[in-house]
Amino acid sequence: EVQLVQSGAEVKMPGESVKISCKASGYSFTNYWIAWVRQMPGKGLEWMGIIYPGDSDTRYSPSFQGQVTFSVDRFVNTAYLQWSRLKASDTAIFYCARYGEAGATATPVDHWGRGSLVTVSS
């Protein structure tokens, strides 16, 4: 069974850094692209970008380029999303999600993590 288990809620102050995780199981981690999706409080879904665990090829949405960093650790089948300097406007739920076809991004996302809430407040 494919599972994406995300790390727990984080409460941070503006200017702090944070790294959230998404641990994959039940499939070959290195063969499927992972997407990160933001959902601000009471708002819709925003596609942040994608990373291919096989070679760490990364593509960011222009809206998030330079604001966040995607990474993976192939030894522990985990993808990461990190910020170096948080802002209050970064408060949101962040989902990791797996694409449905090995090696492809022009395909729907078919498995989602349960989300990680990041709260940034002074």
Partner 1 sequence: DIVMTQSPDSLAVSLGERATINCKSSQSVLDSSSNENYIAWYQQKAGQPPRLLIYWASTRESGVPDRFSGSGSGTDFTLTISSLQAGDVAVYYCQQYYNTPQTFGQGTRLEIK
Radius of gyration of the chain (CA): 14
Q: Please report how close the Cβ of residue 14 comes to partner 1 at its closest, in angstroms.
A: 26
Candidates 18-26, 67-75, 84-92, 113-121 — which segment interacts with partner 1 by CB under 8 A?
113-121
CB 94 within 8 A of CB 115: yes
- Detail the DSSP E strand segments found in 13-56: 18-25, 34-39, 45-52
Indicate the residue type of 54.
G
62 binds partner 1 (CB under 8 A): yes
Residue entry with tokens 């995780």: 21
Does residue number 49 form part of the binding site for partner 1 (CB under 8 A)? yes
106 binds partner 1 (CB under 8 A): yes
Q: Which of 8, 41, 44, 66 binds partner 1 (CB under 8 A)?
A: 44
Phi-psi region of 4 (alpha: psi -120 to 50; beta: other; left: phi over 0): beta
Burial of 108 (0-12, 13-18, 19+ CB in 10 A): exposed
One residue of 46, 54, 69, 117 binding partner 1 per CB under 8 A: 46
- The verdict on 45 binding partner 1 (CB under 8 A) reads yes
Could you say which of 10, 54, 61, 91 contacts partner 1 (CB under 8 A)? 61
- Name the site residues for partner 1 (rule: CB under 8 A): 35, 37, 44-47, 49-50, 59, 61-63, 95, 97, 100, 105-110, 112-115
